[in-house]
Amino acid sequence: MKADRVFVGDIKKCTKYEEHTLFSSEIFIGEDCIGGDSFGHIETDSELYKKDAILIQFKNGGYVDLDNLRSFIDYIKVYGDITKNGFYLGGLIMSTSPHCSDSLFVDSESVKPYKNKQNKDKISARQLRKEFKL
């Protein structure tokens, strides 16, 4: 993998996720809902789940904790979670915001680039595990 896709950051767990809808409308044709709008805000709270996790970033913005990639099957599951317009929430890929209560997400303010000691363009998961003793 490319070394510029490896980061160190904190993983948080959402403890509170409440949707407050101020206005909502739906458009129906017969019994089929064909569209809708909703306005409001979401109230969230979180706690630290894991400090200084080794994170691999994907082109579409999601992160995967290196601890969760234990085999090639897990690697395939990650790519199975990637869709055309993003990724399935709740899988191995984490976003930078919670999507429901008890969901894990990456704290975007804590993310910093991994500094490669060998200054290589590419690095393997095995090298990262060895360096961080995972």
Of 37, 41, 46, give the one whose Cα is nearest residue 15. 46
**What mean pLDDT is reported for the chain?**
81
pLDDT for residue 45 is more than 90: yes
**Cβ–Cβ under 8 Å, residues 28 and 130:** no
**Cβ–Cβ under 8 Å, residues 99 and 91:** no
* pLDDT of res. 117: 59
* pLDDT of res. 36: 81
Q: Check residues 122 and 83 and name the one with the higher pLDDT.
A: 122
pLDDT for residue 12 is more than 60: yes
Opening angle at CA 105, ends 102 and 107, nearest 5? 130
Query: Sign (positive/negative) of CA torsion 50, 52, 54, 58?
Result: positive
Region 19-31 average pLDDT = 83
pTM: 0.74
Q: How far is CA 21 from CA 18, 59, 98, 99, in A?
A: 10, 32, 18, 16
Region 80-87 average pLDDT = 62
Give residue limits of the domains in the chain: 3-12+52-132
Region 62-76 average pLDDT = 75
Region 71-99 average pLDDT = 70
**Cβ–Cβ under 8 Å, residues 33 and 65:** no
pLDDT for residue 114 is more than 90: no
